[in-house]
Amino acid sequence: MKTFKMLTLERFVDDRFISYPLVDGIIINQENSHHTWILEMYAEEQYAEDFKSFIGTDEVIEVRAIISYPDNEPAAFRVVVKEMKVLNGQVSILFKGTLKTQRRQYAELLLEKLVVDGYSGEDLVKQFRSDMMTRPRIKP
């Protein structure tokens, strides 16, 4: 089992990612045969409503998180909401799921998309830098 600091968490909703400011977060790779990961976000209580309807449903949601270092590429997960606890105006939300594997790294997918979209030269470089910072979702 390996544990990591979760720096950011975003949930995919209606073709975009919604970011949740974290008070704290942890990610655990259980390193088992099912390749299970456990994510726990600790945030302000106002964000509980966004996840409350998923408890007990086993509905899979797509999230992505930056692990350990701010410059790391976000890791995408398919998770279910397992538990939620409100504590002193803040909420702890526990997720369980699997790492969503990608065939290619994000930078390669982004560059390919920008070229297909018609970017070239300095415009390509500027848009690439901008999108690497904002990390829009790219459909393969």
What pLDDT is recorded for position 103? 47
The values of phi and psi at residue 22, to 5°, are -95, 140
Rounded to an integer, the average pLDDT of 100-115 is: 79
DSSP string over 77-99: EEEEEEEEEEETTEEEEEEEEEE
Q: Which domains does the chain have, with CATH numbers?
A: 2-99 (2.40.10), 104-140 (no CATH)
pTM (predicted TM-score) = 0.75
Rounded to an integer, the average pLDDT of 51-64 is: 94
- Tell me if 135 sits within 8 A of 106, measured CB to CB: yes
Q: pLDDT grade, residue 136 (50/70/90)?
A: confident
Taking only the tens place, the pLDDT of each residue in 24-57 is 999 999 998 888 999 999 999 999 999 999 998 9
